[in-house]
Structure 1
Amino acid sequence: MVLGAFVGKAASLVVTGLAGAVAFEGVKKVVTRDAVRGTAVGVTALGLRGARAAETGAEKARLATADIVAEARERIGEQAPAPGAATGHGHSH
């Protein structure tokens, strides 16, 4: 009788431990998925910030170059075309 109670208690502990291990593995998988997704979102956000910074830098460089070209044209007596004016593409329509 004591042996039966002992075996029953041991079986109960094994089942409880197994259920806990399965639950722990499930939680670990969910946390891992969330961590991977969170990392992916963070890396993408950094990439977007970098792209925006690069676009801003490129626009500043383009504007600075346009200012230099306009000033150079003024020095040699040419009139700079209006911003956005069509410069043509080498043939008539």
Structure 2
Amino acid sequence: MAAYGLLAKTATLVVHGVVGAATYDLVRKAAAKAPLRESAVSAAELGLRGTRKAEEAAESARLKLADVMAEARERIGEEVPTPAIGDTHDHDH
């Protein structure tokens, strides 16, 4: 009787092992066929596009705020500073 119980447990373990191995092989084959590189490139593209849009929105907001501040300074009689053009290098290369 004990041998039948041991045989049943062993058979169960073997069946689970075979099913697990077959599942693993199917998942591995499906993953090999999946366009992982395309997905990664698409995700990076969306991230870059989002970053560009955020940069554009931030620049637009900065310019609008600068216009408001310039008009407010004009109204109170202050001289409005000229906008900065860019970085200037004070050293020789």
TM-score range, shorter-chain basis?
Answer: 0.5 to 0.7
Runs of 4+ in structure 1 deviating by more than 4 angstroms, as ranges, are: 26-30
Residue 19 of structure 1 corresponds to which residue in structure 2? Answer: none
The RMSD of aligned alpha carbons is 2.4
Number of residue equivalences? 60
- Could you report, residue by residue, the CA deviation over 1:15-51 in whole angstroms, capped at 9, with x for unpaired residues? xxxxxxxxxxx9755422xx11110000000000000
Q: Secondary structure at the match of 1:80?
A: coil
Greater C-alpha Rg = 1
Gap runs ≥5 in structure 2: 1-27, 86-93
TM-score of the aligned structures, taking structure 1 as reference length: 0.56
The AA in structure 1 aligned to 2:78 is E
Report the equivalent of 1:65.
Answer: 65
Cα distance in 2, alignment partners of residues 29 and 84 from structure 1: 53
TM-superposition CA deviations, 1:27-83 (whole Å, max 9, x none): 755422xx1111000000000000000000000000000000000000000011111
- Superposed displacement of residue 84, structure 1: 1.3
* Distance in structure 2 (CA, Å) of the matches to 1:60 and 1:36: 36
**TM-score normalised to the size of structure 2?**
0.56
* Structure 1 segments unaligned to the other structure (5+ residues): 1-25, 86-93
